[in-house]
Every structure is written in C-alpha cells, then in structure tokens.
Structure 1
Amino acid sequence: MPSLSNIQLDLLKEADLSTYLTPEQIAQIATQANPQQLTDEQLLEFLQICNALYRSGEPLISDADYDFIFLAELQKRHPLHPYLQTVEPEVVAVGKTVALPEPMLSTEKAYTRSSIEKWLARLEKAAKELDEDPAALTVRATPKLDGYAAYDDGKLLYTRGDGRKGTDISRVFERGLIVGGNGLRGQGAGEIVVNQNYFNTYLADYFENSRNFQASIIKEKDLEQHALEAIQNHAAVFFPFAQLPSWQGPAIELLADFDRIVKDVYAKVDYDVDGVVFELVNNDRIKQHLGATRHHHRWQIAFKNNIETAEVTVLSVTPQTSRSGRVNPVAELTPTKLSGAMISRATAHHYGMVKELGIGPGTLIELTRSGLVIPKIERVITPAAPQIPDHCPSCGGELVWDSDYLYCLNTTKCPAQIENTIEHFFRTLANVDGFGLKTVEKLHANGVNSVYAVYRLELKQLQDMGFGDKTSQNLLDQLQRSRTEAIEDWRFLGAFGILRMGLGNCERLLQHHRLLDIFNLSVEDVINIEGFAEKTGAAVVECLAKIKTDFMQIYELGFNLIQTPLLAEQQQSTSPIAGKTIVFTGTMVHGKRDEMSKEAKRLGAKVASSVTGKTDFLVTGTDVGAAKIAAAMEKGVRVISEEEYLGLLEE
C-alpha cells in the first residue's frame, strides 16, 4: 500500500489545508490516477494537496499528471472554476504576508507546437485590431526555470505567494545568496535555483531533488551545512528573469525553426529547466490590449515537453495479488535516477503486456517517469523471455487468464484478497483508526477472515492474538466508533469494493435508489442513471449479487448512516436548502464543518468546497477573510453568517 512520507505529512500540517482526505486516500488517488471516481470536493482537495507538496519540494505526482490528469478533469467538469483562474499559492514560507510590488502571475502552459501557433495567432489578431504590423512582432524565448519563484524589489525579497501577496524571505540574502546574471538587486521577478552539476555532485545524497533543496534554504530554521555551503559557493542563486539568456526574433522565424530554438534555449543555463517561456517583448500597446487573467498574462506562454525518460534493465517481474484477485505485474528495475528521484520499480499494467512485449529478467525498457509511486513502462527496447507466474504469490492457488489479466479464483482463502478487502473497508469508511494493513495481517494470521469477523471480536481474543491490553481496547472502541459516528450511506457502500463503483458512482447510484433496494436492480435500471454505461451496469449488478450476503450481515450490525437524498425527493422537498449549493468557510461555533456538511446533504443540499458562480450560499463562521467574502459577492453569491444559516433551516 503506497503512503505519504513523514516529511509530506508534516508539510500538509504546516500548510493547514482543510481536507477530509486521509493520508491513505491521498496516496491511493496518486497511485491510481483515476480522477473520474472522485467527487468535485475530493478532486479539488487533491489538487490543493499536490500543489502544496510540489511547492514545498516534496512532489506527490509529476507536472504532467497534475496538468493532464487531475487539473484537466477539473477543467472538463467546471471550465470556469476559480482554482483554474488563480495563481497556485506557495505554502512553504513562514512569516507576515505583504503585498507584492507588482503581481506575479503564473504562466499559461502549452504542450504542443500547435498551441504555440494558436498563441501567436492571438498576438497577430491583437496587432491587427490596433492597426499594428503583425510582421513586426518580436518574441523572446527564455528557459523556464524550475526553481522557487520570488520577487526582489532591491530592499526585500518576497515569495510569490498567491501572486498578489507574498512573504518576506530577505533572510536568504543575509545568508549569502547572490543574484545571478549581473549580480544587481532590485530586478523584479525571478527564481531561486541551484546549479545542476553542483547539486548532483554535492547535494543529491542529502536532498531528494532540487526543489526540496530550494524550499529548504528559505525556511526560518537554521540551514543544514550542505545547503549553507551551496550558497557560499554561489551554486544557489536568485536568478532574475530579466537576466536570463534568450533567443529573440520574429514569430515567422520561431515557427520555421521551432524545435532547434526550443532545444537551444533549454541548454542555455545549468539549472533545472522544465520548459521554454515565450513572450511578446517589443510592443507594450499590444501587451496592454491583451491584458491578463487572474492566472496569467495573455502575451506570455510556456511550452513544456515533459520528456522524462531513461533506458533501464528489468531485473525481475514480481506478481502482486489485489483484493479483486487480479494478479498485477511489477517490474523490478536496476535503480535509476530519473527527474530527481531514484526509480527501482515500474508497473507493467497486466500480464498480457508482459507476455506480448517480452518483459522479464534482462529486458531493456524505456521508462517514463509519471511521478506516481510506481512509474510506467513507455516501451520495450530489447525483449527477453517473459516472466509469468503459474500460481498466486499469496495463496499458491492456480491462476486463470481472463483476457489480458491473470486471476486467483481462491477468493475465500487467498490471504492477499482477504487482507486487502478488510483493509479497504476500514480505509474507505474513514471514521475508524487502527486497522491498517499490518493490523489486518495480524488479525488474519489468527483466523479472522472477514470484515464481519472483525466486528465480532472480543477483548480477550485480541489479547490472545498478541495485542496489548490498551491496543486491544482501542481497537474495540474504534469499531464501536465506526458504527455510531455518522457516515454517508454512499461511503458505506463504497467500502465493499464493488467493481467499477468508486465513491462518486456510489453516491450517484444512491441518488436514484435506496441503499437496500439496489440489490434488486436490473442492468437496465443502472444504465438508466446518467454516467453508467452498459458494461458498468452489468458489472455492478453482478457484483452486488456476490456481496449481498456479506453486505446484509455487516449492515445489520447497526451503522449510523446518513441517507443520500433522492433526486426526485429533492425536487419536492420543503427544506429551504434543498437543491441549493452551499459552501461552508471559517470556524463554526455550533458544530464542526464536516457535521454541518453532512446535515446539509441530508436536507437535500449540495455541499461544495469552493465558491463558483453556481454557489447559492456562502456560510461564514469566524476567521474568514474579507477578500473571500468580497469575491463571493462579486459572483452574486449570497453570503450569510452561521446564525443566519441556522435560522434559515428553522423556517
């Protein structure tokens, strides 16, 4: 089971993000990279978490996965979502927040040449609208430094913050950090970076990657000796964008020699570079005409090719059995440093791929780092004899092929399937502690083979298994808590691990049918619900039939389930918030925000985590910033206090 590092957990605490995702859920989302199964709130929370960790030097996923998988999913669902329109905040710096001398916006991103062509076409269109000569436009290309963004006004050095307010980190100059280029202070925006050769030679053994190092040198705590030496040796600098080496020329020349120009610009500095920034430089009138969004200047764009590959030799292929019985192949690799991380494992997707491409000891592969816990194999360069198991690695049972997949059919006795199923149940409930995989493995080793059996445990049984007196009582208390603490019925359903039923689909299903009625549904009943295809509908009905006995056994133990309001009833509900979209912000007096959210959902409301133009109410507790309230009011959102909200419910 993948997990967050202790450093990542500490950084999330420092960032003070209001998130309901557990560390285990965060790691699982990063590993599976399947945002379609997430609710809007979970997707936004995950993006915020990834941004916080990336900007703190401990990235959870790669830039490409952040942009193309998770951010793209938010954009597909809500093209005008505020998160897409604002600068992702820096979170690592500690200190008083102050206004920046001028805004430091993000840069619009492009991943194809055609996107750059469209951007140039926008410049030409703007020129024509102002009766300017498009042929006279000059474009500058500079390396897109992958460092820590900051602003130097000659007196203070600020973090970028949210693009408009940052934190004073002038202490880095007091520590000896110099300015790159001509060495002069006060040249505006730039980035703190470290020389690649120096990092690889002197720092790689102490810092996971260069961002980790860059984030470390701005913190208030005393510097590690290796970081201090890097500053003293001028390997780490603040490099103003105005001082970056560049290519400059007309747009037509850029298009005519695009690949060479990009390649040359990448090589102009010995710092980490993750793209090339193109900007209009010779016409302020056009730049003013194009203007900016809250996120980026329209006269500037960054081209990123995200090529992060290496040729690696496979040492062996390790089979791993999941809770569904599917046996998944993991390629064990010659340890290779790729994009700042040491990679020693990669997923081979399924054994059909292993068989077809010839993946086994000695196979030479091209590995593309995706930033996940287990990276992916891009292609096989030199095949070898495929390494395919005959028996389940967990129980030794016979394996059978189903299309490209190998399955262990020993569902009732296979340790991996049993243990992963139990662990998944408690992890998904998210209201119970202590039942991680190690605890579950110990329970199973002592004959506990099901979730129901876990709930039937008594104190003496746990003590006889080797759990201490206090631990045994804590486990029983947590089991009781899981039944008495209110949870959504869709989360309870999701804990049973139904095929093709992530939490989002569970909630969607229960918006149309009551929990105990779903076992009588036909395939047609399921596919009539928006978002369920025929193949999914058939899989859901089949899986529900398989789990019905176990489900009812556990359900009858008595759980405090919050019933999902049926859409048909929401339309007829007399609740004053039925069908409304509500966002809770600040510290509530009359209850926790989580509890208030659950109550609002029970009354037929949709609870969101951020304000959009479709939000009906922003309910404010204490410690809410005026800017947040003003932004909501600008969108036409009704802002009410906690007291007003409670009064509304009593109407």
Structure 2
Amino acid sequence: MEDLFSNDKMRSEVKARIETLRRQLHEHNYNYYVLSQPTISDFEFDALMRQLAELEKQYPEFYDPNSPTMRVGSDINKNFVQVQHRYPMLSLQNTYTEGEISDFFNRVKRSLNEEFEIVCELKFDGTSISLIYENGRLLRAITRGDGKQGDDVTANVRTIRNIPLVLKGDKIPAYVEVRGEILMPWSVFEELNREREAQEEPLFANPRNAASGTLKMQDPKAVASRRLESYIYYLMGEELPSGSHFENMEIARGWGLHVSPTMKKCRSLEEVLQFLSFWEVERKNLPVATDGVVLKVDSLSQQRNLGSTSKFPRWAIAYKFNAEKALTRLESVTYQVGRTGAVTPVANLEPVLLSGTTVKRASLYNEDAIRTLDLHIGDMVYVEKGGEIIPKITGVDKASRAPGGERVEFATNCPDCGTPLLRNEDEAVHYCPNSENCPPQIKGRIEHFVTRKAMNITIGPETIGLLYDKGLIRDAADLYELRFEDLVRLDRWAETSARNLLASIEKSKKVPYERVLFALGIRFVGETVAQKLASAFHYIDLLAAATVEQLTSVEEIGERIAQSVSDFFRNPRSVEFVERLKAHGLQFRLSEDALATRSDRLAGLTVVISGTFELHSRDEYKAMILQHGGKNSGSVSKNTDFILAGENMGPAKLEKAEKLGVKIIDEKTFLTMIGKES
C-alpha cells in the first residue's frame, strides 16, 4: 500500500513537471516567434525541450496533442494573410558537440548503406522565408509560421534588393519554391540601434530580431529602408534541375538568387569537422550574423529515402556555435541619464577580450535586472554579447565572491542633479522628473533637436556641451540667438567654424513642419508619429488645442502617445519654447504644396485598407485618406464606411464586411473618388 502511494505521488510530480515545461516552452515559443524577443538562449530552450520529450517518452499516459514537442514554433501574425505551405517548413534538430555530429554522420551511413556526400553550409541567423516562383516570376513570399501555414509578406519581400522578382537563365521550372533566410547585415543593425538609442527606444538584441520585426512591418517603404538581405539554402518542387542539392544551389545562383559562396561538399566526417572548426572562428569576419552550420545529405533521392520525423528531416542537422563568454570583474556601477530622464545603469568592467573586441562596459538595463543577478561590487561576472554586438552580464560566479563586497542597489537619486527618481508602476525604468534643470536631459534634448532627421544642424554633442557649460544655450531655441562674436571667443574656434554653424542654424529654418514636430522631443513622438500628427493637425496651434480623444482618433496614435502630446502642450515651459521657435521663423504648418493636395472628399469617412496593391503602397493609400479628410482604421466595424481592398484581402475582414454589409471598393475606384488619375 505504501509503495502504491509512493508511486502515485511520483507520477503526480512528473505530471506537474511536464505541465510546467509545456507552459514554459509555449511562452518561449511566443516570445521567440511572435514578439521576436527571446528571453533564453537556444541552448537553454533545447535543453528544456529535450527534458520534456524524455518525460513524455517515459510517461506516454500524459500525451497531449498540443504539447510543444508536437509542433514547430509559430511566427504567424494575424495582421497578414495566412497561406498554406505546399511543402511543410520543418525545423532542424540542433546539436552542440562534435560527438553529436559524429552520431548523425554514422546514423546516415548505417541507414543508407551506400556512399553519400554531406553539404556543409553556414546557418545564417535570420528569419525563414519561402519564395514561390511561377514561370520564373516571384508569386508569393511566405514566412515559416507554424510549418504548415505562414504569413504572406510578399509586398515587404519585394523591397529586398537581392531577391530577384524575375529569375534569369536556363532550367527554370514552371513552379519552384525557394527556401532561405532574411537577414539584416551587421552594419545596418548597428546603424539602426544607434538611431534607436538616440531616440531612447528599446534596442534590438540582435540582427535576427531586427530582421524578423522588420519583415512584419505594415509599411513596405519602412521595410525597404532597413536594407534587408536574403541567403538561399534550398529548392523544392516536382521538376528541379538536378538530383544534387549542391548542384541545385549552383544553378539557383545562376538564376540570380543569393546563395552563400561558403557551401562545401564533404565526403568524410573529418572534412565536416574541419569545416566546423574553420568557420567557428572565420564567421566573425562575415557581414551578417551566423549561429551555426547546417549539414545536409547531398543526394535528393537519398534525402527521400531517409525521410523525416513529424518535426525534423532525418537527412539534415544543425550544429550550433556556442555563444562566446568571458569572465571578468565588476568594478563599479554608474548611471546614465537620457533626454527623457530615463536612468540606465551601466556596469564598468575590468577590460576583457570578447568576440574580437575589448569590452569595458555592459548595460544592466534596469533595477529588476540588477536584483535578478544579485550583483556585488568585485564579483566575477560572465559577459557575452547578445547577437555578438551588445555586451551583457549573463551570470555571476558566486563561488568566487569575496566577503564584504558591497551589494549593488539601484540609485535613488539622479546622479547629475540629485533629484529623487520616480518609477511608474507599469514600467521597468526609473526617471529623473527634473526635466527643466537636469543638465544631461537638457543637453540630450538639444542633441536630439539638431539630428539629421530633425533640424539637421551641423553641431556635435561636444560642442553642445561646451556651449551649455559656457552659458550660451539652455535649450534648443537658444541656438537661434547665438552670435558670431560669442562663438569666435570659444577655445579652438575659428571664424570659419563659427560661420558654418550659424549658416547651418539659418538653413534649418526651412525644415518642414513634420520634422520640426519630431525635433521638439515630445516623449513617444518618433519620426513616423510626427508625420501622422502633422498630416492630421496641419499647423501647430491645432495640435496644441487637440484633446486626447481627438489625438487618439488619428491612426496608430494610442492613449500613451496622445496623453504625452497633451501634457507637452499643457506645460507653460513647452508652450514658451514653441513660441520662441515660432518667433525665429521655424516652420509650424504644412507647406502650401502639401496643403494643395488636401480636400474634404473623404471627410467623416472611416476607411479600412486590406490586401496588397498594384498602383500604390498601403502607406501611400493611408496618406491619401488622411490628405482627403478621412480616417484610417485597422479593423472592420459598424462604423466602417468602406474597405479599400487589394489582392489577398484578409478572410476575416471579408467575412465581417459581408456580415455588416460594408462596401468594398478596389484601388481604381478609390483613386477616382479622390480625383486622382489611376
């Protein structure tokens, strides 16, 4: 009886553990594929998955068809049309050791019992894509999704320059699916993060997240600006040009597809291991991120003979490079204050070489991150680069902790002006509320004001700091009151430098209204939001008088942004600042050319856009709706006046439109409505 009770107790604990693992893995899948914000490494994820698979194998009575082990993770975004894959997009089984690669090689050898070759290719760290070509023309681009269906992102993929819209050359099948990865090059990623950091927006952790997020944007023009690239790694279809995967890739390169030149065909396990060893180091010199090597049996007939499990092909496997870590000492923690008052803790480290660069500092993000790590000054800490670019502390070697080390506690006062810090309940960030008198906030706002996408004044942070310290400027409006005689008195300032700065300041008076609005530095008002606000409220006094309700009626302006804009114009200091800029001649209304295109043809009408278009982009149609007095909406409701529909209109929107009797028009009809030639 006691054994029976013990048995039941153990089974109950096993069941609880299985349910916990499933819950955790579902959450991690969502973070990875939908949010593009993974919270654990691939190695940790695979370890949890293996643990769950082993428990499910030992205890089949706890089978669940919705277990994470039964499916491929999903990146489906309901803002896009979902399309079924003709050929499932399976994921690859991950390995981390040469021993596991040896096991794979020998398993293939036993199963085939004949000569075979292995194609080794770098595993590019991007987001998977399936490109469908019919008669040599790009028909559709679909994300991996859940492996059975994915998002139709054709409009965005057409903006990627190294994806041919029409294949060239010979041996092109009537139908072929091209599988590959969409990536963001390191140089673009670093530039994007510098811009986001300047706007105090959350940084992308790595290029894969950035590429994934970009591909899911609703604006193809914005996608094009991110300069994504593709790397092709497989062809699928009934009439492929060759029975060799390697030869198919060579032929695909001739069609104009971007195939990596690093592929190698190997005849032995030794050659495979040499390839892994070489690229473990050399990959760091590549212009794009890689996280491993993929091994594939070359012969397509041998691939078919080996087959697949429900989740992985038996003829391919992925070897993942281990993230490079270093152990170094935490010397101190300091705090940086941004232009919005956000306070960021920074770990100052004993210099250590990591991924080819010397790391001296690492971001600690916020108070919660510090508490989770349980940091003490003098701790030996593990540092790695997220996506091999952003240094971060991932752990503490507590066994080596010396007694008496001071525990790291988050600052309670601003490190620059001494004001007690505040933290909103729904945010992880602390803020210094002394926005009017805190020096780094004032300098930061001026630095933002002069940036290229704002007023484009040729002055750097050091010069701004000098002018501030000399008492010549206290806000951005003071730039327009600078005098030549004041500037030439400054150390190391020549007459030419003074004249160039003053000329740049004068030229900025012609910068259009939407960029001036962005330059004001209103919290949460980035470049795109400023454009939308300028279109909806075509001069500054209208915007200043707008209520929160009126602001939220503008597409993509939520409660948080609306409240921030309203608060800005209710602050007497902000109003005075804007009035001073007005007096200096800055542009605070849309230009005559922009206004000339405006009308009230769509006044009072709510329009929903769905599908893909031939004559203009979705973003251009949204701008036209605003120009002619209409309102954009993302969802169909009883308040929708009509739907502007292109190809592949969302089935959910179509069904709801039919149910509510909402009128659907095509783009030529719409262009006629607003008096524009199609």
Q: Give TM-score, length-normalised by structure 1.
A: 0.49
Higher relative contact order (CA 8 A, sep 6+): 1
